[in-house]
Structure 1
Amino acid sequence: MAAAVGCLGAVARFSRVLLFLSQFYILSGGGSLNLEHSQPLAQSIRDPGPTRTFTVVPRAAESTDMPPPYVMKCPSNGPCSRLPADCIECRTNASCVYGKPAAFDCTVKPFVTCVDQDFRSQKNFVINMTCRFCWQLPETEYECSNSTACMTVSCPRQRYTANCTVRDHVHCLGNRTFPKMLYCNWTGGYKWSTALALSITLGGFGADRFYLGQWREGLGKLFSFGGLGIWTLIDVLLIGVGYVGPADGSLYI
């Protein structure tokens, strides 16, 4: 019985060895596996099948003809003679006399539409305006930047360089933006009447100087009792004539 069991075990080991050798032989290329999916796989490698093509459709080109900023100031289908100066271009009339009315040939700018007296669209027209350069206009016809970095209360009175721009409805020759020297003219909110009242009533304690933002002078008047009254009288006169002003250099209101 034991001999029979041993014989069966040897046969099983021998069959395992044969199975291993056969698998090794097949994997090493000495044989081929006749599987059902091997042939379709080989065919798929040799013949990749129909090729798919894709057509790229280009996007529509975005319009680059954007209206310029000045179009916002130009009323559509209005009279050409009423258009703002930023909406038209006019030829210089070399024969005009300064200060006298003259006719100028003008053309509307691109993207601007206007009409004549008969409501017909037109591009070229004539306007009448005074012969003068933009920097020669009255102060009411242009706007200038204001400066708060200069002293309004000084002798001589200080000036600053302002950038001025002509108003839209005004026509003139040359550049519509120009520099101009102007006197310092701004206020910080200090009242002349309040400063004078404080100088008369409480000037001996330096209240007027404290109000104007002049702390060192205010402390000097406070601890000297108004300079024994002399400093107080002098400040009343100086504030009364406007010689002493706010410490920030602004004007009274």
Structure 2
Amino acid sequence: MAAPWSWPVGAVFYLLYFTSRPAATGDSLKCDELRLGQYICKDPEISYVTQEPVKCTNFTAHAPCFPAPNITCKDPSGNETRFTGKEIGFYKPIQCRNVNGYSYKVAVALSLFLGWLGADRFYLGYPALGMLKFCTVGFCGIGSLIDFVLILMQIVGPSDGSSYIIDYYGARLNRLSITNETFRKTQMYP
């Protein structure tokens, strides 16, 4: 009779051995199709000036990924390679933002201290709104407060459509929207 622990040990061995290898169909996987845990990607190099990944083009940058030791897969050129864990197997695309030199910190500071003069709107590239705020002394204070909140929540951005320069691990906000493909889970109330 087998020991009571032999089945779990066999299952763990099976999972570790067979999930770390490509399927036995004769064709090995492409390296960018490896499962999570079979590779590790380095963090991208971040530019000090833009606070975005270096070589960000078309809202995409690429991070180098290293397959785990003893993984065999096809590299981007189609060659089947057995990796030691030190070679780059593929480049994983990561999302990045388009920035053109407008600082989030400067925009918030201008809105807070000189918003009643329209300095925030001039800085962001809205000269007509800046002049309107200047001539009406910030819409008597109410407009300055509303603009401050809109800039703080990153709803109002630069006029050229670019994003603010915000620290890479800073207070970035991502807008979420509901579409027809969004799944709404019903709440169970007690």
Which TM bucket (shorter chain)?
0.3 to 0.5
Higher RCO structure, 1 or 2 (CA under 8 Å, sep 6+): 2
Question: Computing the radius of gyration over CA atoms, which structure comes out larger, 1 or 2?
Answer: 1
Using the size of structure 1 for normalisation, the TM-score is: 0.35
Greater share of helix = 1
Using the size of structure 2 for normalisation, the TM-score is: 0.44
